[in-house]
């Protein structure tokens, strides 16, 4: 499952690069601190949620409490759903950072930082670590 997700992500990146999708980007994604912060927060939430899913398979009672995530990936998500959900979140974060006007892009990036860093912190408080 992970290989197929990584293959799809690599293919999408190659497709975007071949059509210069990011050539008209409003910000330099490589050096923008809000892009890095939102990506790190999403990755931390991704890793802790995935750790909870793996522990649930071993008998730990982990369930998704985020209303939005629960609607998309279910109350008891599988590893594949977690990967697909957070890959989509990461892509939407980068695309919004790139193509929205800077004012709105900053608001969206700050939202991603606050939302996902707080979820990662809550997951850490219940004993979950960042594990991929």
CA-to-CA distance for 21 and 59, rounded, in angstroms? Answer: 44
4: CB partners within 8 A, 6+ apart: none
For residue 4, the model assigns a pLDDT of: 57
What is the greatest pairwise CA distance in the chain?
A: 48
Entry pTM = 0.80
Q: For residue 10, give the nearest of 89, 87, 96 by alpha carbon.
A: 87
CA-to-CA distance for 53 and 125, rounded, in angstroms? Answer: 16
For residue 44, the model assigns a pLDDT of: 94
Q: In the block, which residue shows the tokens 């912060």?
A: 37
Backbone phi, psi, residue 127, to 5°: 100, 10
Return contacts of 124-129, CB within 8 angstroms, 24+ apart: 124/48, 128/48, 128/49, 128/51, 128/52, 128/55, 128/62, 129/47, 129/48, 129/51
For residue 33, the model assigns a pLDDT of: 92
pLDDT digit string (tens) for the chain, length 132 residues: 555 555 665 566 565 555 566 667 778 878 889 999 999 999 999 999 999 888 877 777 776 777 667 777 777 788 888 888 898 899 889 888 888 888 899 999 999 999 999 999 998 998 888 888
For residue 47, the model assigns a pLDDT of: 93
For residue 19, the model assigns a pLDDT of: 57
């Amino acid at each position: 499952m992970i290989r197929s997700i990584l293959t799809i992500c690599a293919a999408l990146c190659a497709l975007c690069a071949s059509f210069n999708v990011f050539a008209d980007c409003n910000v330099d994604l490589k050096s923008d601190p809000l892009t890095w912060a939102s990506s790190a927060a999403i990755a931390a939430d991704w890793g802790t949620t995935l750790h909870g899913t793996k522990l649930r398979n071993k008998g730990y009672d982990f369930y998704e409490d985020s209303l939005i995530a629960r609607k998309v990936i279910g109350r008891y998500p599988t590893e594949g759903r977690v990967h697909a959900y957070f890959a989509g979140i990461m892509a939407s974060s980068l695309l919004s950072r790139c193509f929205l006007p800077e004012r709105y892009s900053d608001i969206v990036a700050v939202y991603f930082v606050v939302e996902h860093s707080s979820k990662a912190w809550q997951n850490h408080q219940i004993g979950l670590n960042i594990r991929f």
